[in-house]
Amino acid sequence: MVTVFAVPSPGLVRRLLDHFAKHGPMWLTSRMGNRRTAILSHIFPEAMESPLILHCVLMIAAKDLLKYDSNVELQASAVEYYGRAISGLREALSGEQLANEPTSGAIISGASPAYNIEEMTYALKTGNAKFLMTVPAGMDVAVPAAREAGIPTERIFLLEGEKGEYISVQDLVRKGRSYGPTGQTTPFELPRGKSNRDVCGFLSFSSGTTGLPKAVMIAHHNVIAQCMQVDQILRKHVNKSLAVLPLFHITGLVHQMHLPVIRNSTVYMLPSFTMESMLATIVEYQITEILSVPPIIIRLLTDPIVSKYDLSHVKTFSSGAAPISGEVLLKLEARFPWTGFKQGYGMTESCSCITAHPPEKQTYEYAQRAGILVANTEVKILNTQNGKELGYGEEGEILARGPQVVMGYLGNEKATRETFDSDGWLHTGDVGYMDQEGFLVITDRIKEMIKVKGIGVSPAELEDLLLGHPEVDDAAVTSVPDDYSGEKPKAYVVVNAAAKSRLATGDAVKSVGRELIEYVKAKKVRHKWIVEVEFMDEIPKSPSGKILRRVLRDRERKRESGEKRLVVRDEKATAKL
């Protein structure tokens, strides 16, 4: 197996969208059973009665827009476009054969541009990468990581620009052209006896919020199924949307890169995020749907710059990739009462969505629910203690089964067996229930539950409560050891500007901290009381908005290092429950 790692950049997305505009979608086929067209890269000219009107937009910067708006007759072969470059890759491999890239046979895996050398090395080794594609700005991390992972210099390719001895993608294309005219490239076919369920197209790393990330193997079948599922449940097409998730994230890969192409939607993307550039883009291009994550939703509610922009044309907010607090949703509705809201539930292991909101339910009435099942998907709820199936309204672990459930974890059979059972059920590790209307409601993660004298306490429940306090902008809750109870909840809090100015003196720190401790006491049963509040400038989160609780736990373990922190403890906390 050969893995190609790509560090995303605006230039990479620019080229992909240029390809889409010229040649049509890379992934969809109407002949799902055909061995040759059931992979992502093949297109379907015989399925179209009329040309596809394709609008692909990439926002390189607020004032630098690349827009493709053309009638695309689906008669060109995507295979031919990339085949020449792949010929160069094969030559660089000196005879090694690529296995699964959509047109060439290689598995594609995205890597965060924010990775440090250690993180990049781990990803390259875990994915068994044979190539690394990067940009000049990423070379300081990419080159030493590739060296550590055993990838030679001649297999490091530049997606844009030129630098020293490194081969550029343009060099590969030129080399590929030298092999002959258009039509001479042999397209990749699925291995004999294999279906598109059996052939990995992408590696996407799990978020690693509770441990080291795992390389999730995503089949061609998974992406095709997920795009069709979401297209079917959403039905109405949104003409303009803003996407903020990185394309190495599963939601960015599927919902921002593949899905808009087949739904004929215009997607605007920013090369890097600032509130000002995002808001300016929304207003200038009259974007009607904001595909976002909880941290950005919170910024829309707390950043004073938002009031400078007229967002009255926005119709829908969409959030995914991490849980969003009910208190935040109440504030969002109050601030933008004319808008609707939708979210979905899923994970990398389900190739994004298990549930989603249909158009008629994209209201704040349903906002705290995670949606209904997408097509061909099953969910069951199991008692976390005895494994028995539960009924409507009964809370337990969520299991899911469907065509979007992935192949497993690369090189980690133990984790694969623990997560995917022999009957095809994905054990999500999430706790929730199904209500009488068929909506899934998520309450917490099993591994994140705090056990206070054996009683489970949900961090999400306490975070939701704290976010309802008028002086709190963001919050995270984890456990701290307790001699009597085993564990107790601790809150990490980011306060608003007004409260932050009060924290300049020690007495004020104690006052605000005690106020928050008493706030929780007044609203929750004793075993849910927080024992400590620590004030922070920022809650550590993944790029998709998930709270990195392991970072907070590491921070707690290093507390004795003498680092100055603003911490308030409930001195009245007793051993009794």
The domain that contains 536 carries what CATH number? 3.30.300.30
CATH number of the structural domain spanning residue 94:
3.40.50
Say what the pLDDT of residue 173 is.
Answer: 65
Q: How far is CA 150 from CA 72, 124, 175, 183, 504, in A?
A: 42, 9, 25, 35, 51
Q: How far apart are the first and last CA of the chain?
A: 55
* 373 and 495 inside one domain: no
- Report the amino acid identity of residue 551: V
Structural domain count of the chain: 3
Say what the pLDDT of residue 300 is.
Answer: 92
Cα–Cα distance for residue pair 376/225, rounded to 1 Å: 9
Work out the number of other CB atoms within 10 angstroms of the CB of residue 171. 15
Residue 187 DSSP code:
P
pLDDT(465) > 70: yes
Cβ-based neighbours of 33, under 8 Å, separated by 6 or more: none
* 469 and 341 inside one domain: no
Say what the pLDDT of residue 135 is.
Answer: 83
Q: How far is CA 191 from CA 33, 340, 350, in A?
A: 14, 46, 24
Highest mean pLDDT among 52-56, 183-187, 219-223: 219-223
Nearest to 415, CA basis, from 138, 231, 154, 210 = 210
Say what the pLDDT of residue 423 is.
Answer: 94
pTM above 0.85, yes or no: no
Asked if residue 390 is part of any domain, the answer here is yes
* 376 and 310 inside one domain: yes
Work out the number of other CB atoms within 10 angstroms of the CB of residue 27. 22
pLDDT(151) > 60: yes
* 443 and 470 inside one domain: no
**Strand-strand pairing, 156-158 and 129-134:** parallel
Say what the pLDDT of residue 450 is.
Answer: 85
Cα–Cα distance for residue pair 48/75, rounded to 1 Å: 10
Q: How far is CA 12 from CA 78, 223, 280, in A?
A: 16, 20, 23
Q: Which residues pair with 236 in a beta bridge?
A: none
Asked if residue 200 is part of any domain, the answer here is no
* Mean pLDDT computed over 120-145: 88
* 100 and 155 inside one domain: yes
Say what the pLDDT of residue 454 is.
Answer: 62
Q: Which residues pair with 56 in a beta bridge?
A: 68
Work out the number of other CB atoms within 10 angstroms of the CB of residue 75. 12
Starting at the earlier edge strand, list the strands of the sheet with 156-158.
167-168, 156-158, 129-134, 3-6, 107-110, 200-205, 215-219, 408-409
* 458 and 381 inside one domain: no
* 139 and 41 inside one domain: yes
- Which residue segment(s) compose the domain that 502 sits in? 449-569
Query: What digits encode the pLDDT tens for the residues 269-317?
Result: 776 778 998 999 899 889 998 888 887 888 899 889 999 999 999 999 9
User: Which residue is it, tokens 């054990």?
Assistant: 427
Nearest to 362, CA basis, from 316, 309, 323, 295 = 316
Q: Give the H or E element holding residue 276.
A: helix 275-284
Asked if residue 437 is part of any domain, the answer here is yes
Compute CA 130 distance to the chain's CA centroid, rounded to the nearest angstrom: 25
Cα–Cα distance for residue pair 528/521, rounded to 1 Å: 8
* 254 and 352 inside one domain: yes
Nearest to 349, CA basis, from 395, 408, 298 = 408
* 443 and 484 inside one domain: no
- Report the amino acid identity of residue 351: C
Cβ-based neighbours of 387, under 8 Å, separated by 6 or more: none
Write phi, then psi, for 430 (nearest 5 degrees).
-95, 150
* 441 and 456 inside one domain: no
Highest mean pLDDT among 174-183, 229-238, 333-342, 437-446: 333-342
Query: What digits encode the pLDDT tens for the residues 273-282?
Result: 789 989 998 9
Cα–Cα distance for residue pair 380/402, rounded to 1 Å: 12
User: Which residue is it, tokens 């979401």?
Assistant: 230
Domain final position from 388, 418, 447: 447
Say what the pLDDT of residue 98 is.
Answer: 37
* 284 and 390 inside one domain: yes
CATH number of the structural domain spanning residue 306:
3.40.50.12780
| 483: three-class secondary structure by DSSP | coil
Say what the pLDDT of residue 62 is.
Answer: 33
* Mean pLDDT computed over 512-520: 90
Asked if residue 277 is part of any domain, the answer here is yes
Query: What digits encode the pLDDT tens for the residues 154-190?
Result: 888 887 777 878 888 777 766 666 655 555 555 566 7
Nearest to 149, CA basis, from 137, 131, 166, 165 = 131
Say what the pLDDT of residue 30 is.
Answer: 24
Say what the pLDDT of residue 505 is.
Answer: 66
Q: Which residues pair with 109 in a beta bridge?
A: 5, 203
Asked if residue 169 is part of any domain, the answer here is yes
* 368 and 317 inside one domain: yes
Q: Name the least confident of 88-97, 191-200, 399-408.
A: 88-97
Cα–Cα distance for residue pair 367/369, rounded to 1 Å: 5
Domain final position from 418, 447, 476: 447
Burial (CB count <10 Å: 0-12, 13-18, 19+), residue 184: exposed
User: Which residue is it, tokens 């939708």?
Assistant: 342
Query: What digits encode the pLDDT tens for the residues 530-575?
Result: 999 999 989 998 776 788 888 888 888 776 556 678 888 887 764 4
| 217: three-class secondary structure by DSSP | strand
pLDDT(396) > 90: yes
Compute CA 562 distance to the chain's CA centroid, rounded to the nearest angstrom: 36
Asked if residue 466 is part of any domain, the answer here is yes
Confidence band for 198, pLDDT divided at 50, 70 and 90: confident
Cβ-based neighbours of 140, under 8 Å, separated by 6 or more: none
Q: Which residues pair with 532 in a beta bridge?
A: 490, 569
Cα–Cα distance for residue pair 529/439, rounded to 1 Å: 30
Domain final position from 396, 423, 447: 447
Is the dihedral angle over the CA atoms 529, 532, 535, 541 positive or is it negative?
Answer: negative
Asked if residue 57 is part of any domain, the answer here is no
Cα–Cα distance for residue pair 268/314, rounded to 1 Å: 14
Cα–Cα distance for residue pair 146/379, rounded to 1 Å: 41
Query: What digits encode the pLDDT tens for the residues 400-424?
Result: 999 999 999 998 899 899 899 999 9
Asked if residue 565 is part of any domain, the answer here is yes
Say what the pLDDT of residue 180 is.
Answer: 57
Would residue 133 be called left, alpha or beta, if left means φ above 0 and alpha means ψ between -120 and 50 degrees?
Answer: beta
